[in-house]
Structure formats: C-alpha cells, structure tokens
Amino acid sequence: MIDHFGINCSDLEASARFYDAVLGVLGYSRQMDVGVAIGYGSEGHPEFWISSWSGEEPNREMHCAFSAESVDAVRAFHEAAVGAGAESLHEPRLWPEYHPGYFGAFVRDPDGNNVEAVCHRGVPQG
C-alpha cells in the first residue's frame, strides 16, 4: 500500500545528520540524494524521504505515495482525486529523474498534504 513517504525539514543538513545516524543503526542508508531531498531505505529503494522546507512554520506538508499496480491506476487515482476536489500538483506522467519507468501523479489532499500514486513499471512513451 505505502510506496514511500516524506517529511519536510527546516534545516535539511541537520536533519540529514540526524537520520544518517539513527537510521544507520537500523540498517538503512541514503539511497538517493537529489539536493533538496534525500531518500533512505535499503536495496536501492528509498522509502522515507526528507526534504528542505522554506515555507511558513509550523505548517509543513507531509508526502505519502501509494503503490499503484498500473499506469491506468495512477491515471484513475488522479481523476478521482481531482473529481473529489483535490488540487492537482502534477498530472500523471513519467518521472525519469527518479528512475526509468517511474510513473506518478501528485495531488494536494484536503489538509494540504502532497499525496501521490506511483507505478514503477511505467512504459516510456514515444
């Protein structure tokens, strides 16, 4: 059900030092670092993300990504969310900057959180 989730941090460097230490003793490590966000996990799959936050305190959005079985399911998620009144953050598409085949859609839930559906087996178009 949960593919990955993330929190926003007011001091990314301090949070990275903290999570490097505490997750390291649990057997997890940095799996991706894209500058403004760091993903932790194991075996090449980042499941927990920390991101920099420059917005107003104390309201920091949370990010949660739900696993989808197909590209069509990601599209259906986005359509249902927008139909239910959610703000569309990113329409369904491939996100090759994450990895080839990463197909996701992002919406803002009623409480302002960034909610995503993702299929890791998206087929490149073209």
Q: Under CATH, what is the fold of the domain 61-126?
A: 2,3-Dihydroxybiphenyl 1,2-Dioxygenase; domain 1 (3.10.180)
pLDDT tens digits, one per residue of 15-61: 999 999 989 988 999 999 999 999 999 999 999 999 988 877 666 78
CA gyration radius, the chain: 15
Q: Where in the chain is the domain with CATH 3.10.180.10?
A: 1-52, 61-126
pLDDT tens digits, one per residue of 54-79: 877 666 788 999 999 999 999 999 99
pTM to 2 decimals? 0.75
Which comes out higher in pLDDT, residue 120 or 10?
A: 120
Q: C-alpha angle with apex 78: 74 to 83, nearest 5 degrees? A: 145
Cis peptide leading into 124, omega within 30 of 0?
A: no
